[in-house]
Structure 1
Amino acid sequence: MSTTSPAGPNPAIALNDDVTIPQLGFGVFQVPPEETERVVAEALRAGYRSIDTATRYGNEEGVGAAVAASGLAREEIFVTTKLANPDQGYETTLAAFDASMGRLGLDVLDLYLMHWPCPARGETVNTWRAFEELFRAGRIRSIGVSNFLPHHFEQLFDATEVVPSINQIELHPYFQQPELRVYHAERGIVTEAYSPIAQGDCLDDPVITGIADRLGATPAQVVLRWHLQLGTVVIPKSVTPARIAANLGALGITLSEDDMTAIEALDRGEDGRRGFHPDRFNGFPEDFATT
Structure 2
Amino acid sequence: MSSSTEVSLRLNPSDAFIYGTAWKKDRTKRLVKEALKAGFRKVDTAAQPRHYQESLVGEGIREAIVEGLIRREDVYVQTKYTTPAGQDLNNMPYHPLDALDVQVHTSVASSLRNLRPNEDTEDASYVDCLLLHSPLPTIDQTIEAWKLLESYVPDKIRALGISNVTLPVLQSIYDSSTIKPSVVQNRFYSDTKYDVPLRAFCREHGISYQSFWTLSGNPKLIKSKPVTTIAKSTGTDPSVALYALVSDLGIVVLNGTTTTVHMEDDLAGLRKIGEYSQRHENEWHRARSSFQKLVEP
TM-score range, shorter chain: 0.7 to 0.9
Judged with a 3 Å threshold, the aligned counterparts in structure 2 of structure 1 residues 203 and 65 are, in CA distance, closer, same or farther, namely farther
TM-score, normalized by length of structure 2?
0.76
Equivalence for 1:42: 34
1:175-221 Cα offsets, whole Å, 9 max, x none, are: 52211111111222121112222357347514223331122111111
What is the RMSD of the two structures over their aligned residues, measured on CA atoms? Answer: 2.6
TM-score, normalized by length of structure 1?
0.78
Judged with a 3 Å threshold, the aligned counterparts in structure 2 of structure 1 residues 155 and 200 are, in CA distance, closer, same or farther, namely closer
Equivalence for 2:179: 162
Equivalence for 1:253: 273
**Unmatched 5+ stretches in structure 1:** 1-7, 13-21, 270-291
Q: Is the 8 A contact 1:81 1:112 kept in 2?
A: yes
Equivalence for 2:91: none
Judged with a 3 Å threshold, the aligned counterparts in structure 2 of structure 1 residues 204 and 184 are, in CA distance, closer, same or farther, namely closer
1:18-51 Cα offsets, whole Å, 9 max, x none, are: xxxx3322111222x2001111111111111111
Equivalence for 2:4: none
Distance 1:23 1:264 in 2: 18
Judged with a 3 Å threshold, the aligned counterparts in structure 2 of structure 1 residues 213 and 11 are, in CA distance, closer, same or farther, namely closer
Say which is worse superposed, 151-160 or 242-251, in terms of deviation. 151-160
Deviation at 1:140?
0.8
Deviation at 1:103?
2.1
The higher radius of gyration belongs to 2
Q: Is the 8 A contact 1:173 1:223 kept in 2?
A: no
Q: Is the 8 A contact 2:234 2:272 kept in 1?
A: no
Deviation at 1:116?
0.5
Equivalence for 2:115: 104
Equivalence for 1:240: 259
Q: Detail structure 1 runs of 4+ shifted over 6 Å in the superposition.
A: none
Opposite residue 223 of structure 2, the aligned amino acid is: D
Deviation at 1:243?
0.9
Q: For 2:230, which of 183, 188, 211 is the aligned residue?
A: 211
2:275 is the alignment partner of 1:264: no
Deviation at 1:122?
5.0
**Unmatched 5+ stretches in structure 2:** 1-9, 85-93, 118-124, 278-283
Judged with a 3 Å threshold, the aligned counterparts in structure 2 of structure 1 residues 9 and 259 are, in CA distance, closer, same or farther, namely closer
Equivalence for 1:131: 149
Secondary structure at 1:25 match in 2: strand
Q: How many equivalent pairs are there?
A: 251
